[in-house]
Amino acid sequence: MNFKSITVGQFQAMYKIHGMEMEPEDKAAQLVMAMTGRGVDEVYNMPLSKFNRLCREAESALGLLGVELYNSKPAKFIRAGGNLYGLNYEIKKPPFNAGKYVEVVTFSNDLIANLHLILASMAVPYKWMRPVRAMTTRLLQTI
């Protein structure tokens, strides 16, 4: 499993579990549950070889996340729920405004837990590879 196939929710859950103090066996089971979305009974009743393989994948995914995130280029576009969004990384560039800046600063107090909120503040919906706001501005200018 590579880090690109992990959702934000899975990453948040795995990161939270990784930081908890509990027995190693319970932590491994929780990581497998978070990574696969399976229930407690399914994880505890699966064959040991499959459980061990999933544990190794979970640990390697967590270990690689730090390395690959720092060595990779940020995405310009993401697709969520069938919709295309552009990501605005520059504060000076519209449509980033004071409200969105305050949101990002507020959410950055707990970065991992609020990762989805920070991403939502940076996302700009696109249609036909143009920002929605630019299309409406252009339409208003023609009227």
Query: Domain residues of the chain, as ranges?
Result: 3-71, 77-142
How many angstroms separate the CA atoms of 5 and 33, rounded? 16
What Å distances lie between residue 123 and 59, 80, 112, CA to CA? 30, 10, 17
Partners of residue 124 on adjacent β-strands: 86
83-110 average pLDDT score = 84
93-109 average pLDDT score = 84
Partners of residue 87 on adjacent β-strands: 123
- Encode pLDDT of 62-91 as tens digits: 776 566 666 677 888 888 888 888 888 887
CB 122 within 8 A of CB 114: no
Task: Give this prediction's pTM.
Answer: 0.66
pLDDT at residue 138, rounded to an integer: 45
pLDDT at residue 135, rounded to an integer: 46
What Å distances lie between residue 113 and 89, 121, 132, CA to CA? 19, 14, 28
Q: Is pLDDT at 141 greater than 90 in this prediction?
A: no
pLDDT at residue 48, rounded to an integer: 92
